[in-house]
Amino acid sequence: MSRRISWVAILMMALMVLFTVSCEGPAGVDGVDGVDGADGMDGADGAVGPAGADGTDGTDGVDGNMSCLTCHTQANMDMIKGEFAVSGHAAAGALGYAGGRGSCSRCHSAEGFAGYLLGYPGEDLTQKSALSCESCHGNHESLEDGISAPMATMAAINLIVDETTSADFGNASNLCANCHNSRRNGDYYTSVDSLDLDGDGVNDFEIHADSVWISSTHAGPHYSAQVNTIIGLGGYGATATTAHESVGCVSCHMGDATLTQGGHTFDPNLANCTVACHSAVAADFANWVSGKQDAVSARMAAIGDALVAAGAMTTDGAGHYSPARAMVHIDVFEAFWNYRVMYQDHSFSVHNPGYYTSMLATAEAKLGL
């Protein structure tokens, strides 16, 4: 009996094992991932390392007052002031009544020029003083642009007689050009066709179609026709040439200075011309220039005499000619205007020799010379 039970137990155990292996049930559902644990705290910083060696000291800069003394040494300032004192810009006549007159002050007084550069309208001034160093050199900000001396302006200018035409010498000559350009063209006079002499609003007479009324004993482009002449504009019947436009003003009129020429005298030092351009005639340059000027002066005198005869000019008999208030033929006026352009340029052809030659020839032809 016991042996039978034993075999039965063994058999049942074998069946249970077989059932377990061959009848595995379905897989269960995956469990949810657990939440990440918090980051651990940073460890403490390590000890500071030893200090590095000091760098090499830089080169000392220039002392501030040394930069100023490039220009403002006592000797240099005394020299400049001495030169300026003999210049036309320092003359009392340049200030006169014009220094306070609204249409004139921009070039005749320090206050007028400062206001003009700032864009203020030209108005009569009660306070006026002569031009001085600060008039041209008050703005030291220009030194930041690498300019060797402080300049009030270096911008190109628009001509007073024609604001659509500009002049740009590309250097400090642009400062000069603000005042040294004509205030009028001949059209100022030729465009007038009738006159109200007594100011009552009624025309007293008509100007003939072939004539021009010279209305002032100061008629002309004004004593500042240099820029217009240099660029070849302003004269009648003249062929424009530009011999010195690339040079401008400062190279000849300033440059190296003597006690009476160059620098801030603004009277041209001929040595500046021979070094820069005219080395071929350097040995006799003064005579070469004066010979050309004398020839021009002689032709201008002949034109002046003819204009006196035509009623357009008066003369003091000593070679000085002034406009006459008169009605003249258009041909006489155009000759008169060319004369006044040349006279008020005052270089006797140096500024623009070819242009002078053309203006002289036109004036002579108009007068039958």
> What is the per-residue pLDDT across 222-243, written as a single tens digit (0 to 9) for each?
988 999 999 999 999 988 888 8
What letter does residue 230 receive in the DSSP assignment?
H
Say what the pLDDT of residue 216 is. 92
Comparing CA positions, the residue from 233, 250, 224 lying closest to residue 98 is 224
Least-confidence region, from 6-15, 53-62, 269-278, 296-305: 6-15
Alpha-carbon distance of 195 to 203, in angstroms, equals: 5
Comparing CA positions, the residue from 87, 76, 71 lying closest to residue 264 is 87
Alpha-carbon distance of 239 to 166, in angstroms, equals: 19
DSSP 55-107: PPPPPPPPPHHHHHTTT--HHHHHHHHHHHHTSGGG-GGGTTGGGTSTTTHHH
Say what the pLDDT of residue 256 is. 80
- What confidence tier does 212 reach under pLDDT thresholds 50, 70, 90? very high
- State the average pLDDT for the chain: 85
When comparing pLDDT for 178 and 288, which is higher? 178
Say what the pLDDT of residue 91 is. 75
How much of the chain, in percent, has pLDDT values that exceed 90? 41
Mean pLDDT of 138-159: 84
Alpha-carbon distance of 112 to 135, in angstroms, equals: 10
Least-confidence region, from 1-15, 90-104, 213-227, 232-246: 1-15
Least-confidence region, from 150-154, 227-231, 310-314: 150-154
Q: Is the full-model pTM beyond 0.85? A: no
CB 181 within 8 A of CB 225: yes
Does 21 have pLDDT greater than 70?
no
Does 5 have pLDDT greater than 60?
no
Give tens-digit pLDDT for 35-92. 777 777 777 877 888 888 888 887 776 566 667 887 888 998 999 999 998 888 887 6
Does 330 have pLDDT greater than 60?
yes
Least-confidence region, from 26-40, 75-89, 134-148, 236-250: 26-40
- What confidence tier does 355 reach under pLDDT thresholds 50, 70, 90? very high
Does 16 have pLDDT greater than 80?
no
Mean pLDDT of 186-195: 91
